[in-house]
């Protein structure tokens, strides 16, 4: 009986980890190299969800800074119908931001894999 309990707990942990790491439905991802070719697009909105200090220290001019902790209260500033590209330092916070946007009715959300840590201008 103890073995079955361990197996069950292990299965639950694997399932929860898989769900946490997989992108939300409707959220795609691109590399930082792919991002470079999209920066001049006027039909996209670019959101950097890092802290103001991180944003000030190193930023991409096309991105608007909306820190992750402010995002839920500021989604009204964004166009839900526009493709929305989100970036952070490593890709983890932007993945969370993409999920928040998706749950708030944004139709096309793109997470930048690797974030600013992988971006080379």
What is the CA angle 90-94-99, rounded to 5?
Answer: 145
Q: Which of 27, 35, 86, 88 is catalytic?
A: 88
CA dist., res. 77 & res. 58, Å (int) = 23
Query: What is the distance between the alpha carbons of residues 86 and 64, in angstroms, rounded to a whole number?
Result: 10
On whether the CB atoms of residues 49 and 87 are closer than 8 A, the answer is yes
Catalytic (active site) residue 11: no
Active site residues: 88
């Amino acid at each position: 009986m103890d073995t079955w309990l361990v197996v069950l707990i292990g299965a639950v942990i694997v399932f929860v980890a898989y769900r946490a790491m997989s992108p939300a439905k409707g959220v795609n991802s691109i590399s930082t190299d792919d991002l470079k070719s999209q920066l001049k697009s006027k039909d996209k909105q670019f959101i950097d969800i890092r802290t103001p200090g991180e944003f000030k220290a190193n930023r991409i001019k096309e991105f608007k800074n909306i820190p992750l902790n402010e995002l839920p209260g500021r989604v009204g500033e964004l166009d839900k119908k526009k493709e929305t590209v989100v970036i952070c330092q490593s890709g983890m916070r932007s993945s969370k931001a993409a999920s928040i946007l998706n749950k708030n009715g944004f139709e096309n959300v793109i997470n930048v894999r690797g974030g600013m840590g992988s971006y080379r201008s």
